[in-house]
């Protein structure tokens, strides 16, 4: 009886061992699952509304090659400064048809789509100096620097003083503007972090240098003067738009300063006058002398341009 039990136990051990060996053998000979080829494409990680900037809402992800549509965008650089041409869902693979540039949207004449709620679009004249050498582009953020020339006026007549030379025997001899008054300049940083919606006339692109060169023009002839923009379009709050309008109508000197791409901080600055510059940099008023120094531009020949 005891011998029979031993034989049964040995049989069970052999059966379990055989099953384990067969399982290990099968595991070792089973072919690994084939790897699915993938490629990196640009995928939306957040919902993106129409005409919203896509930067910061997309990333590169590996997707199965069979699931990638033809022409899919494969670099984040291709999305820089681009707007969503229509709503984009999370996990959607981006295609060039999903994007539109601010310039393209501008050419469509749909300015209102670029203006955010609570803001207005206003045009402003520029020149080479005020526009950072015409380097400002749509999508830039700018601060507005203003210099105001203050002069004294007669409070009653609102005429710039002096109304007449030093002495006025009677009012009939009043001579307006007899003495020129030097304006007192005050410069200050005013409107901050304003977005540039467009450069130049709305819906019109400036021709390139090649387009401005006539096909039959002599190659030795001087190149034509390039066309430059005369206006930019800014997105401002209604109150800031009024500030800019009044400053322009008062003929304040207005320049634009371009911000860093991701810099949206608000600066607190002190107005700058001549007194401020003298005090800050330790400039003292020189005493009057009975002599002067001949200008170097007279003594030293100037280089020919």
Say if CB 63 and CB 43 are below 8 A apart.
Answer: yes
Compute the distance between CA of residue 22 and CA of residue 169 in angstroms, rounded to an integer.
127
Q: Residue 177: pLDDT above 50?
A: no
Closest CA to 144 of 121, 171, 167, 126: 126
Share of the chain above pLDDT 90, in %: 39
Q: What is the pLDDT of residues 116-130, one digit of tens each?
A: 889 999 998 999 999
Write the DSSP symbol of residue 217: S
Q: Residue 63: pLDDT above 90?
A: no
Position 142 scores a pLDDT of 96
Q: What domains can be seen in the chain, in order of their start residue?
A: 38-100 (3.90.1210.10), 113-206+226-280 (no CATH)
Full DSSP string of 241-280: HHHHHHHHHTT-EEEEEEPPTT--PPP----B-HHHHHHH
Collapsed DSSP state (helix, strand, coil) of residue 216: coil
CA quadruple 209, 215, 219, 221: dihedral positive or negative? negative
Position 114 scores a pLDDT of 80
Q: Residue 24: pLDDT above 60?
A: yes
- 119: tokens are 């803001």
CA quadruple 82, 87, 91, 95: dihedral positive or negative? negative
Distances (CA, A) of 186 to 148, 153, 168, 279, 284: 5, 17, 32, 15, 19
Position of tokens 């030795």?
220
* Whole-model pTM over 0.85: no
Write the DSSP symbol of residue 151: -
Q: Report CA Rg, the chain.
A: 37
Q: Residue 212: pLDDT above 60?
A: no
**Mean pLDDT score, 183-191:** 94
Collapsed DSSP state (helix, strand, coil) of residue 101: coil
């Amino acid at each position: 009886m005891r011998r029979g039990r031993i034989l049964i136990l040995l049989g069970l051990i052999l059966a379990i061992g055989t099953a384990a060996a067969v399982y290990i053998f099968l595991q070792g000979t089973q072919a690994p699952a084939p790897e699915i080829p993938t490629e990196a494409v640009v995928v939306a990680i957040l919902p993106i509304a129409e005409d919203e900037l896509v930067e910061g809402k997309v990333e590169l992800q590996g997707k199965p090659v069979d699931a990638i549509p033809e022409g899919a965008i494969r670099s984040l650089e291709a999305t820089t400064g681009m707007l969503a041409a229509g709503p984009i869902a999370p996990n959607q693979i981006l295609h060039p048809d999903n994007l539109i540039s601010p310039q393209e949207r501008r050419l469509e004449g749909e300015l209102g789509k670029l203006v955010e709620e609570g803001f207005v679009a206003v045009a402003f004249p520029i020149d080479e100096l005020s526009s950072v050498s015409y380097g400002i582009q749509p999508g830039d953020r700018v601060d507005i620097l203003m210099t105001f020339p203050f002069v004294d006026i007669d409070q009653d007549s609102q005429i710039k003083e002096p109304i007449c030379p030093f002495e006025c025997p009677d009012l009939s001899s009043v001579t307006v503007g007899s003495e020129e008054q030097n304006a007192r300049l005050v410069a200050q940083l005013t409107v901050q972090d304003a977005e540039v919606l467009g450069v130049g006339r709305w819906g019109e692109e400036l021709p390139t240098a090649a387009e401005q060169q006539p096909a039959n023009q002599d190659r030795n002839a001087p190149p034509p003067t390039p066309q430059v923009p005369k206006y930019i379009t800014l997105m401002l709050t209604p109150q800031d738009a009024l500030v800019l309008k009044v400053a322009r109508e008062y003929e304040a000197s207005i320049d634009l300063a371009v911000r860093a791409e991701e810099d949206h901080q608000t600066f607190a600055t002190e107005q700058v006058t001549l007194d401020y510059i003298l005090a800050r940099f330790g400039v003292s008023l020189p005493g009057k002398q009975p002599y002067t120094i001949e200008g170097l531009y007279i003594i030293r020949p100037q280089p020919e341009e």
